[in-house]
Amino acid sequence: MEILQLPVLNDNYIYLLKEPISGKTAVIDPAVAEPVMATLKQKNWQLDYIFNTHHHSDHVGGNLQLKQLTGCQIVAAAADQARIPGIDIAVEDGTIFPLSQQTFQIIATPGHTSGHIVYYCVDSQALFCGDTLFSMGCGRLFEGSAEQMWHSLQKLKALPGCTRVYCAHEYTQANGRFALTLEADNPDLLLRVEVVNELRRNNLPSIPSTIELELATNPFLREHSSPLREAVAAFDEDTPAEVFAKMRLLKDQFR
C-alpha cells in the first residue's frame, strides 16, 4: 500500500493511502482539504474514503469539503455520529473494513476522546492511531480516564513489533525530552532522541515509528520499568494503570 504523509497546520499529519491493485484510496484525518486535493490532482488519484479517528476539528476539518468535491464516503466511529460531520459508514470495535485488497481492523481506543478509534491495516502492518499513541508519547485525556487510556494502549502494545506507527502529530522531540526525565539511562531512548533530533534539524519527519521501537522508548508503554516507577514516585502496590496515571499527570505539567 502506498502511504503519503502530508504535513499540515503546525504539527499535524494527514495520511493518503492507495491500494495498489484496485487503486482505491483513503485519507486519514483530513484536518484541511486543500493539500489533500492538491496531492490527489498531482498524483491523478480519485478519493474514495475518509477515515476519521476522532471528532476534533484538526482531524475532521476537511471532511465536508472533500466529500463535496470528490463524492467520497466518510468512515468513522458509530459512537461519534453526532460529532463527526458527514459520516456515511459507522464502524465500531472489531469491525473489519476492506479497502479492496487491504484489510483494516477497527480498534476502539477511548481515552483521548470517548469515541476514539484506530485503523490497523493487517496486510501492510500499518497502524493509523490518531491521537491515542504518539511517537514516545500518548494523547491527553480530554474525555476518558487514565485507566481507559491504559487499556487502550495495551491493545496497541499487543500488535506485531514490526507494525509501523503513523500518529497524527509531530510531537516526538518534546515527548523524548519528557521520556528522558523518567529513564535517563535507557540506551534505546538516548539513541532514539539523538536520531530524532537529527531528523528534525533537517526538517524531516520522525514518523512513522514502530511498535517495537515504542516498546523500547515510550514511557507510556513502559510502566514496568523500575527507574520509571521510581521517577513517578510509584508505590509497590500501584497497579500498572495507576503508574500510567501518575506519568500522564507529570506529562501534563511538563514544559
Which domains, and CATH codes, for the chain?
2-171+206-217 (3.60.15.10)
236 is in an annotated binding site: no
Q: Which residues pair with 27 in a beta bridge?
A: 16, 50
112 is in an annotated binding site: yes
Cα–Cα dist 193/211, whole Å = 16
Interval 187-208: pLDDT, tens = 999 999 999 999 999 999 999 9
Amino acid 177: pLDDT: 97
User: What's the half-sphere exposure (Cβ side, CA atoms, 13 Å) at 72?
Assistant: 29
Write down the pTM of the prediction: 0.96
Q: What is the arithmetic mean of pLDDT over 219-235?
A: 93
240: cell is 500498572
55 is in an annotated binding site: no
59 is in an annotated binding site: yes
169 is in an annotated binding site: yes
151 is in an annotated binding site: no
224 is in an annotated binding site: no
Inter-residue contact 133 to 167 (CB < 8 Å): yes
Taking every pair of Cα atoms in the chain, the longest distance, rounded to a whole number of angstroms, is: 58
